[in-house]
Amino acid sequence: MRTLYRNAHVISPGVDIVGGSVLVTDGRISQVTMPSMTLPSADAEINCGGLMLLPGFIDVHAHGRSGVDFTDPDPSAIVTMTRDKRKDGVTSLLVTTLTLSFEELEVCCKNAAAVMNDPEADGARILGMHLEGPYINPTKAGAQNPNFLRNPDFLEVMALNAICPVRKVTFAPELPGAMDFAQRLRGAGIVPSVSHSEADYETMLEALRNGVRDFSHFCNTITPMHHLAFGAVGAGLEIDDFNLELIGDKFHIQPPMLRFIFKVKNIERLQLITDAMRASGLGDGPSVLGGLEVIVKDGIARVASTGAVAGSTLLYNQGLKNLYEVTGLPLKELVKVTSWNQARTLGFSDLGRIEPGYRADFVLMDKNFNVKETWIAKDCPAP
């Protein structure tokens, strides 16, 4: 099956083609044409109406949307969330967990695997699991439930990985056994990522030597940067090898800090995330996160009892719009933080670009970043 997406403003890392066209053959991109070129023949055509055609977004850190959470025991929660994340332009994601008991995490993995392996699933593609906790520091638990905190346990991760592939684990490197844990994760092809941590600058250097290259929701729940104590934030900014997740709601990281990060870090080390909880896509009011009561006011979610920030209510397309307005960067550069960087970090070589050989995962948006259509390539043959 050959499908031609014509009359599109094609935007991909390093690519900006007004009036371009993209030919897709059996779910993979086979040709990208300039407006001056003769259009190839196709079995079907889709007129993009001059709107922006970008690689589908990859959200590697999202907990919920539309009143449901990935860790809800009801299997329909994951179906609802993947379908509604697709409305935001997300074509692939990691099912991100909370700090819960092993039994609850086991159920979440089983539910995710069922959707991941369902050929009829029509929501965002599940790439695997992101375990946020339970191996985090109690002093930096934030909105995570303190009742289930524990030290790093590689065998527990492997037990969950046997149910559904674990792609990423967020943990605190200062906990007992954490450095060996990081090495073993890296050896198993799982991304070790730091957050909810009291690690200082020196500990982050040790973590780097033990295979850590990533920060989850950078700046949040880690030690800040100070001229007398450089902290984990300082390490993330100074050391080129660190990849940084950024919540793009302009609240978790204020605009001046976002601009500073984009100035000092290679853009290929930055990843836009939502860290969205179940209130995402809904209005203000009461909600729940990991068994904790949450209040959303003016779009900001906080734990009712402590006032701690409880994830975000951000939609992915809005996050890209925020970064575009804050940084002023051209979209052909900024688009790297929405999919290409995530794909490379996770080891997926055929996602995140509009180029021949890549999966035809697209999001079509107007100039105000409103999502008009999202396409997800299913069951593509190898390139």
CA atoms within 13 A on the CB side of 251: 17
pLDDT at 382: 55
pTM (global) more than 0.85: yes
Phi, psi of 362 (to 5 degrees): -130, 150
CA–CA distance, 309 with 221 (Å, rounded to integer): 10
Give the pair of three-digit tokens for residue 157: 């991760």
298 or 365: which carries more pLDDT confidence? 365
**Percent of the chain surpassing pLDDT 70:** 98
Nearest Cα neighbor of 212 from 230, 196, 236 is: 236
Kindly report, residue by residue over 343-354, the tens digit of the pLDDT.
999 999 999 999
287 or 16: which carries more pLDDT confidence? 16
312 or 261: which carries more pLDDT confidence? 261
Q: What is the DSSP code string of 218-276? A: TTTTSPPPBTTB-HHHHHHHH-TT-EEEEE-SSSSS-HHHHHHHHHHS-GGGEEEE--B
What's the rounded mean pLDDT across residues 305-317? 86
Exactly one of 69, 84, 214, 275 is catalytic; name it: 275
Give the pair of three-digit tokens for residue 101: 């008991």
pLDDT at 144: 82
**CATH of range 2-54+352-375; options 2.40.180.10, 2.60.120.680, 2.30.40.10, 3.40.50.300:** 2.30.40.10
CA–CA distance, 316 with 274 (Å, rounded to integer): 6
What's the rounded mean pLDDT across residues 68-95? 95
Over 60: is that where the pLDDT of 366 sits? yes
Spell out the alpha helix ranges (H) of the chain: 76-87, 102-116, 154-161, 178-187, 201-209, 231-238, 255-264, 316-327, 331-334, 340-346
Over 90: is that where the pLDDT of 379 sits? no
Instruction: Show Cβ contacts of residue 123 under 8 Å, excluding neighbours closer than 6 positions.
Output: 79, 81, 82, 83, 84, 85, 86, 115
Name the band, by pLDDT with cuts 50, 70 and 90, for residue 287.
Answer: confident
Over 70: is that where the pLDDT of 207 sits? yes
pLDDT at 304: 84
How far lies 77's CA from each of 160, 190, 292, 311, 354, in Å? 19, 25, 18, 18, 31
Catalytic residue at 275?
yes
**CATH of range 57-346; options 3.30.450.20, 3.20.20.140, 3.90.1150.10, 3.30.420.40:** 3.20.20.140
- Collapse the DSSP code of 287 into the 3-class scheme (helix H, G, I; strand E, B; otherwise coil) and give the result: strand
User: Hunting for tokens 């979209």 — which residue is that?
Assistant: 331
Which residues does residue 10 pair with via DSSP β-bridges, in sequence order? 17, 53
- Collapse the DSSP code of 173 into the 3-class scheme (helix H, G, I; strand E, B; otherwise coil) and give the result: coil
CA atoms within 13 A on the CB side of 54: 30
pLDDT at 310: 78
Nearest Cα neighbor of 149 from 113, 183, 197, 186 is: 197
The domain segmentation of the chain, as residue ranges, is 2-54+352-375, 57-346
pLDDT at 347: 97
CA–CA distance, 317 with 154 (Å, rounded to integer): 35
Q: At what angle do helices 154-161 and 178-187 cross, to 10 degrees?
A: 30
Kindly report, residue by residue over 224-274, the tens digit of the pLDDT.
999 999 999 999 999 999 999 999 999 999 999 999 999 999 999 999 999
CA atoms within 13 A on the CB side of 152: 22
Residue 276 near residue 63, CB atoms below 8 Å: yes
Residue 267 near residue 276, CB atoms below 8 Å: no
Sign of CA dihedral 264, 185, 278, 316: positive
Give the pair of three-digit tokens for residue 204: 């982050």
Over 70: is that where the pLDDT of 380 sits? no
Name the band, by pLDDT with cuts 50, 70 and 90, for residue 141.
Answer: confident
The mean predicted confidence, pLDDT, of the chain is 95
Same fold, 2-54+352-375 and 57-346: no
